[in-house]
Amino acid sequence: MNKQYTLLLTACIDPSVSNYKKHPSFRMDALTRLNDYKIALDYWLNYTDSRLTGIVFIENSGFDISSLKELVAERNNKNIQVEFIEKLAGPVPYGVHYGYSELEMIDYAFKNSRLISSSTYIIKATGRLYFPKLKQLLNKYPGEFKIAIDSRDYKILKYEKHYLVTTIFIINKDFYNSALYDAKRLMTPENGHMEKIYYSILKPLYVKNEKGVILRFPFSMDPVGIGAHFNVNYSSKKKLFESAVRNAFRIFIPKLWI
């Protein structure tokens, strides 16, 4: 089955206009971030997998995105459908993470995007990153499913993590609307991260063996780009080593969800 996918890229070019928690080492400069988005968007415009049939780019800071539209006009050699959506972020409740605004963007895109409305499967990705292993990942899931998302879900002695990785995931549109739409309403100061909210919703479904709920990728989906937190380079030796270790665990100790 040759499923088709629409790619949803979420973007906040100028985080200074929101209540994004500021930190000296965070990637806060708008022009630097804009260039990140240009690099990633150019990658996706030239992506060679024909299953990717459309790109939705949604931005929530109000920053001028005309240069991104110009990039599409100049570099869209494959004539892939590209839709831009501008949605100013609303107020974020006190004490919750800026992932609230990310969830708000995704909700808005699912309700208002013409490309998403005509699609069955959506690939959501952080707009400043790209994922060279996406083709291999899509090949792993030729049949029908509800969501495929990666997790960090383990407890080793005093160390434990329990969350889902939201930089990239693949989801059936109807499942999103029934299970994850308006998940931001569940955020509280005690449980205020997008990754943990998704975990609280999806892990019980997985435990109940709900068909089509996939919470672990078969390999590490290494992004290319710079993380917003602490300017982490995902192609650094440290990150590549972490990825190699994670892949080894998935082969030799598959029951350990690292």
Strands 52-59 vs 5-11: parallel, antiparallel or unpaired: parallel
Please choose, from the candidates 31, 50, 52, the residue with its C-alpha nearest in 3D space to the C-alpha of residue 168: 52
CB within 8 Å of 55: residues ≥ 6 apart: 6, 7, 9, 41, 44, 45, 80, 81, 82, 83, 115
Residue 228's pLDDT is what? 78
Residue 16's pLDDT is what? 82
Evaluate whether 238 touches 222 at the Cβ level (below 8 Å): no
Residue 188 is given by DSSP the state: -
Please state which of the ranges 11-25, 54-68, 88-102 shows the lowest mean pLDDT.
11-25
Q: Write the pLDDT tens digit of every residue in 176-207.
A: 999 999 999 999 999 989 999 999 999 999 99
Residue 229's pLDDT is what? 72
pLDDT band at 105 (very low <50, low <70, confident <90, very high): very high
Please choose, from the candidates 54, 119, 111, 52, the residue with its C-alpha nearest in 3D space to the C-alpha of residue 87: 111
What's the 3-state SS for 223-241? CECECCCCCCECCCHHHHH
pLDDT band at 233 (very low <50, low <70, confident <90, very high): confident
58 half-sphere exposure, CB direction, 13 A CA radius? 28
Q: Is the pLDDT of residue 44 over 70?
A: yes
CB within 8 Å of 157: residues ≥ 6 apart: none
Q: State both tokens at 217.
A: 């990728």
Residue 22's pLDDT is what? 54
Q: Which class would CATH give 5-252?
A: alpha beta
Residue 97's pLDDT is what? 87
pLDDT band at 40 (very low <50, low <70, confident <90, very high): very high
Q: What is the largest CA-CA distance in the chain?
A: 54
Strands 5-11 vs 213-214: parallel, antiparallel or unpaired: unpaired
Residue 165's pLDDT is what? 96
Reported pTM: 0.94
Q: How many other β-carbons are positioned within 10 Å of the β-carbon of residue 62? A: 15
Please state which of the ranges 31-40, 41-50, 193-202, 228-237 shows the lowest mean pLDDT.
228-237
pLDDT band at 232 (very low <50, low <70, confident <90, very high): confident
Q: Please state, for a pLDDT cut of 90, what percent of the chain lies above it.
A: 78
- Average pLDDT along the chain: 93
pLDDT band at 76 (very low <50, low <70, confident <90, very high): very high
